[in-house]
Amino acid sequence: MDIFCKIINKEIPAEVVYEDKEILAFRDIHPVAPVHVLIIPKKHIESANELSDGDAQLIGKMVVLAKKIAQDLQISEKGYKLLIRTGKDGGQEVPHLHLHLIGGAELYEEIRPIN
């Protein structure tokens, strides 16, 4: 079982900021900015590669929730970054789909032109 399924099952603790029957959001254990929240589906989906048409509403809900959490944590006005790493080249470490919500600092540098 992956580590995020264990967090969903309350087998390991996390600082939860939102929960409903489909989605869990909690603080990243190694934040890269003052606000770093991971938004995950409770249903096990390994990565964006495993998404199907039937998951469109769930993914939409995760993005809308990210906006609401950003508002609650007062980073909306200055802005934030939403990120889904996918697979090896994408740098995904945990094999359970997750949307990073990162903000509270200037985050200009992560993606750069290659030419």
Catalytic residue numbers, as ranges: 98
10 forms part of the interface with ligand 5GP (CB under 6 A) = no
- The nearest distance, CB 115 to ligand 5GP, in angstroms, is 26
Long-range contacts at 58-67 (CB < 8 A, ≥ 24 apart) = 58/22, 58/23, 61/22, 61/23, 62/23, 62/99, 63/99, 65/18, 65/23, 65/25, 65/39, 66/37, 66/39, 66/99, 66/101
Nearest to 81, CA basis, from 54, 56, 58, 108: 108
14 forms part of the interface with ligand 5GP (CB under 6 A) = yes
Q: Which of residues 45-104 bind ligand 5GP (CB under 6 A)?
A: 85, 91-94
Answer for which of 10, 30, 88, 112 binds ligand 5GP (CB under 6 A) is 30
1 forms part of the interface with ligand 5GP (CB under 6 A) = no
Report how many residues bind ligand 5GP under the rule CB under 6 A. Answer: 13
List of residues contacting ligand 5GP (CB under 6 A): 3, 14, 26-30, 38, 85, 91-94
